[in-house]
């Protein structure tokens, strides 16, 4: 084929795609559009529209008139070339041959005599309705089917009606991944594990000569937003191999057997492009344990899982195909998926520590114009428990806030507001509160802050605010951890109980009344006290016994309470110990706030005026009060 003919065919294919509205995606490096799929339902809709509009475009332009007006024209002698059909009578007007009129034929025995008296030329007409009906349907159907098959030929194989059995994996070529380990930070241990996978794909003979084999599967486990998908793409980018990416939910459809067919098609396509990586995101969508769904089974999902197990078990490792998957719910996966020979490695992608958070912030702020007062190390210290997605969101929010205020750089105050937005919600400055409610919130938050600065094992207060945020927060006291913590002592938990009860006790002391504002505080305090007694063995009376175990999600649906493995008498003792811990914390907080009542009043007055104060101002007030007490002694 000559170049001119080839270009002409390509241009005709492009024009066809443009007519169909398929040229939404950009051309590739060769100037061609990617393969698209035409839905058969579009063809059926077009046929119905064509059939509906056919009479308007293919019928002659005839004016329909009432029969009485037709008789009037007949009496006046203005009709000519009259044709009497089975249902209609048509004629032309004398002197106006281009104008045709039509009327519905009625039972009129004297019509023929009137036509003869008027000397009008008339004739009858027989209409073959069956033939006309067949032609009106077959002709458009033939045209559209020819058009459909031509379009299918142009778009390539796999674009027909049965294309739903094909896998929906997105294929990234070696040059399309554009992600490397340099784009990953904060998960160094997981990265080291996967660097070995890259080495397997790059030079498999290095391990095979010693008798080793490439792992068949790598399961990435971790909380949402920690970078599991990014890490998988980085492996493909470093190894320079094709990357098949698909979500677990894309396997299962309404048709029976489609999921298993897509699994077979995916592995067959991957084997033809080995070495490569298959990445299944949200594996728990199809990998749930079989036979434990108490609310009813799903045969299609289990068939898909069975086919996946068969493909992974029968896959030859020397083909250079590695299956990677990600999930944040490993406890519900089928045990057959986790055995050696399928997912040989389980890599934990955990929340980053302070150094990891700083490294993540440095990556995401490469293209952000930062003010000199921004210290990424301090920002990392203020965001314990945040994952990579949270940190990226904070940086984006800070940049948007700075742009909204028409700043030249992103300042520290923008990051402070962004963190508060993520943690507490959007600020609601226009919410109208009564003076009494505002006073209650002011003393409530002042109580939290003073107790937090008075107990020994507590994070320092960073900010106190009575500006409403989020859905139901009328105020908040923000504490800034000084370091990442992985263990909590009994003293620290008791101090947290005291801080949570600080707002409720402040209301009792000042107003001799209590409000509903402490509902969330009481719920969190009760959870801490119950956990201390039933799981941590921190009760002297009950001893070193764990009375409650975490709910086994695999064998129990969500919302069902866990079964008790202790007697009713022991349950009463547990309730008594929980109440004892709460009561002791309540008395302790009463003593702290009664002793610092002057500080409570001063802080509440300052907070009602400024609405938001820093932790340094609180510590200054406490220091002044301490100096005053010492001088009075």
Residues assigned a catalytic role:
445
Rounded to whole angstroms, the Cα distance separating 36 from 24 reads: 10
Q: Helix %, strand %, coil % for the chain, to 5?
A: 55, 10, 35
DSSP secondary structure, 222-280, as one string: -STTSSHHHHHHHHHHHHT--EEEEEGGGS--SSTTHHHHHHHHHHHHHHHT-SEEEEE
DSSP secondary structure, 31-98, as one string: S-PPP----HHHHHHHHHHHHHHHHHHHS---EE--HHHHHHHHHHT-EEEEEE-SSEEEEEETTEEE
Do 246 and 166 contact (CB within 8 A), yes or no? no
Do 474 and 441 contact (CB within 8 A), yes or no? yes
Q: Helix, strand, or coil here: 382?
A: coil
Residue position matching structure tokens 């009813």: 296
Do 234 and 198 contact (CB within 8 A), yes or no? no
CA gyration radius for the chain?
A: 39
Question: What's 559's DSSP letter?
Answer: T
The Cα-based distances of 549 to 335, 487, 534, 552, 561 in angstroms read 21, 18, 9, 9, 11
Give the H/E segment covering residue 531. Answer: helix 519-534
Rounded to whole angstroms, the Cα distance separating 271 from 319 reads: 7
Q: How many CB atoms lie within 10 A of CB 513?
A: 8
Beta 170-172 vs 243-247: how paired, if at all?
A: antiparallel
Rounded to whole angstroms, the Cα distance separating 309 from 335 reads: 11
Question: What's 29's DSSP letter?
Answer: T
The encoded tokens of residue 289 equal 């344990």
In terms of Cα–Cα distance, which of 317, 319, 320, 321 is closest to 340? 317
The encoded tokens of residue 242 equal 């094709």
Do 171 and 265 contact (CB within 8 A), yes or no? no
Rounded to whole angstroms, the Cα distance separating 347 from 192 reads: 10
Residue position matching structure tokens 């250079």: 320
């Amino acid at each position: 084929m000559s170049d001119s003919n080839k270009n002409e065919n390509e241009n005709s294919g492009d024009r066809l795609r443009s007519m169909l509205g398929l040229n939404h995606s950009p051309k590739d490096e060769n100037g061609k559009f990617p393969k698209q799929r035409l839905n058969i339902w579009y063809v059926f809709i077009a046929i119905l529209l064509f059939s509906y509009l056919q009479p308007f475009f293919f019928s002659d332009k005839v004016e329909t008139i009432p029969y009485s007006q037709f008789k009037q024209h007949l009496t006046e002698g203005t009709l000519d070339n009259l044709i009497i059909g089975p249902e209609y009578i048509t004629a032309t007007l004398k002197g106006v041959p281009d104008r045709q009129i039509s009327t519905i034929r009625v039972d009129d025995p004297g019509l023929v005599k009137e036509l003869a008296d008027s000397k009008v030329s008339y004739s009858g007409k027989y209409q073959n309705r069956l033939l006309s009906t067949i032609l009106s349907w077959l002709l458009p159907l033939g045209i559209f089917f020819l058009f459909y098959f031509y379009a299918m030929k142009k778009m390539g194989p796999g674009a027909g009606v049965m294309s739903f059995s094909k896998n929906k994996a997105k294929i990234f070529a070696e040059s399309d991944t554009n992600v490397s380990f340099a784009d990953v930070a904060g998960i160094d241990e997981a990265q080291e594990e996967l660097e070995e996978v890259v080495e397997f794909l790059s030079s498999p003979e290095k391990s095979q000569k010693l008798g080793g084999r490439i792992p068949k599967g790598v399961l990435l486990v971790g909380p949402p937003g920690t970078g599991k998908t990014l890490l998988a793409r980085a492996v493909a980018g470093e190894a320079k191999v094709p990357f098949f990416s698909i979500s677990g939910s894309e396997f299962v459809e309404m048709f029976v057997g489609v999921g298993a067919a897509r699994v077979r098609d995916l592995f067959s396509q991957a084997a033809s492009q080995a070495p490569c990586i298959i990445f299944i995101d949200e594996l728990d969508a199809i990998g749930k344990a079989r036979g434990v769904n108490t609310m009813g089974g799903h045969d299609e999902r289990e068939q898909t899982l069975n086919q996946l197990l068969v493909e992974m078990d029968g896959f030859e490792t020397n083909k250079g195909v590695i299956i990677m998957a990600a999930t944040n719910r490993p406890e519900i996966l089928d045990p057959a998926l986790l055995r050696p020979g399928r997912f040989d490695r389980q890599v934990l992608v955990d929340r980053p520590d302070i150094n990891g958070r700083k490294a993540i912030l440095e990556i995401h702020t490469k293209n952000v114009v930062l003010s000199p007062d921004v210290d990424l190390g301090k920002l990392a210290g203020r965001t314990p428990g945040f994952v990579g997605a949270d940190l990226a969101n904070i940086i984006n929010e800070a940049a948007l806030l700075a742009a909204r205020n028409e700043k030249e750089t992103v300042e520290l105050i923008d990051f402070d507001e962004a963190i508060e937005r993520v943690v507490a919600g959007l600020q609601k400055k226009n919410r109208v509160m009564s003076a009494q409610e505002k006073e209650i919130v002011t003393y409530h938050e002042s109580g939290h802050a003073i107790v937090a600065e008075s107990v020994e094992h507590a994070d320092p207060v960073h900010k106190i605010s009575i500006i409403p945020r989020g859905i139901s927060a009328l105020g908040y006291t923000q504490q800034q951890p000084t370091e990442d913590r992985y263990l909590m002592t009994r003293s620290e938990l008791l101090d947290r109980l005291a801080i949570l009860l600080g707002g409720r006790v402040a209301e009792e002391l000042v107003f001799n009344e209590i409000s509903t504002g402490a509902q969330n505080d009481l719920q969190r305090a009760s959870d801490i006290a119950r956990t201390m007694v039933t799981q941590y063995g921190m009760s002297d009376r009950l001893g070193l016994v764990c009375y409650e175990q975490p709910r086994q999600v695999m064998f129990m649906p969500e919302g069902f309470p866990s079964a008790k493995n202790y007697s009713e008498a022991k349950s009463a003792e547990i309730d008594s110990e929980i109440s004892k811990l709460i009561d002791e914390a309540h008395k302790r907080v009463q003593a702290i706030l009664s002793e610092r009542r002057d500080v409570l009043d001063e802080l509440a007055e300052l907070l009602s005026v400024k609405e938001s104060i820093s932790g340094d101002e609180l510590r200054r007030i406490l220091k002044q009060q301490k100096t005053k007490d010492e001088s009075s002694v």
